[in-house]
Amino acid sequence: MPMSIQRLGAAALAASMLFVGVDASAQNTQKPPAQPRPQQQQQPAQQPQQQQGPLRVDLQPTQGEWTKVCGKDPAANKEICYTTRDFGTAADQPPVLALAVYDVKGDDQRIVRLLLPVALLLRPGFRFSVDKGATQEGGFEICFPNGCFAEAKVKGTSIDQMKKGTIMNVAVKNQANNEVTFALPLAGFAKAFDGAAIDPKVLEDQQKRLEQELQKRAEEQRKQLESQQSATPPK
């Protein structure tokens, strides 16, 4: 099931959520506005049977490496680090999902936070597992017009599994109540999680370059589409 969202700047948004308390779920009292569903409006009761059932989306990193960022929570007076990466359907395409793992110094509890596309069922939340390991559950926290945050609280043993694992499977439900599983490669996660944090200025420069590259690709695609439309003879 191909999906895309306008890039939110996943690492920048994760940074803006860095000092949000773990009880932020209390803010999620409203569902996002309903999204248009033209295909289902045209043939609501005649969808082919083969489109029903579980779907799998294999994602690729759209960032060169995992990024680790650290800061201090002034309220708790503790250092918080998060290790994050964006993923898309192809390395040269805009991201459709972002993963960030938060580590509070001195706490065994970690937070796995996801930035997911809109047009998903907020209930029953999401499920995730590493390779063929045990399944864990999480819930949606807050939605924006072009993406929703979801998170789960986990123990250090879950992070150890991520360090040793190869694929993280994230299962959600779409509007048709079909299960969609996003498969995220975990290569390089352990090195980044245990390594040194990136300099904030370096991170800012990386984000600017990535935004410029995405804008350039979008403009090239727009021009290509206009060229194809102008070359098509009128009927």
Task: Note the pLDDT tens digit of each residue in 16-44.
Answer: 333 333 333 333 333 333 333 333 333 44
Contacts of residues 71-77 at CB distance under 8 Å and 24 or more positions apart, as own/partner, are 71/15, 71/18, 71/19, 73/18, 73/19, 73/104, 74/19, 75/19, 75/21, 76/104
CA distance 79 to 192: 17
- 41 falls within a domain: no
Higher pLDDT, 184 or 213: 184
Q: To the nearest 5 percent, what fractions of the chain are helix, strand and coil? A: 30, 35, 40
Report pLDDT for 26: 30
57 lies in some domain: yes
Helices (H), the chain: 10-16, 38-42, 156-164, 189-194, 200-231
Provide the pLDDT for residue 63.
81
Domain of residue 184: give its range: 10-18+53-202
Average pLDDT over residues 87-111: 90
For the residues 179-193, what does the mean pLDDT come to? 96
Tell me if 64 is assigned to some domain: yes
Arithmetic mean of pLDDT over the chain: 77
Residue 175 located in a structural domain? yes
DSSP β-bridge partners for residue 130: 168
Partner residues linked to 58 by β-bridges? 183
pTM as predicted: 0.67
Q: For residue 111, what is the domain's CATH number?
A: 2.60.40.1880
Is 179 a residue whose pLDDT tops 80? Answer: yes
127 neighbors 13 (Cβ within 8 angstroms): no
Q: How many domains does the chain have?
A: 1
Lowest mean pLDDT across 46-50, 104-108, 154-158:
46-50
Residue 178 lies in a domain: yes
Query: Residue 232 domain-assigned?
Result: no
Identify the pLDDT of residue 44.
41
Give a yes or no: residue 172 inside a domain.
yes
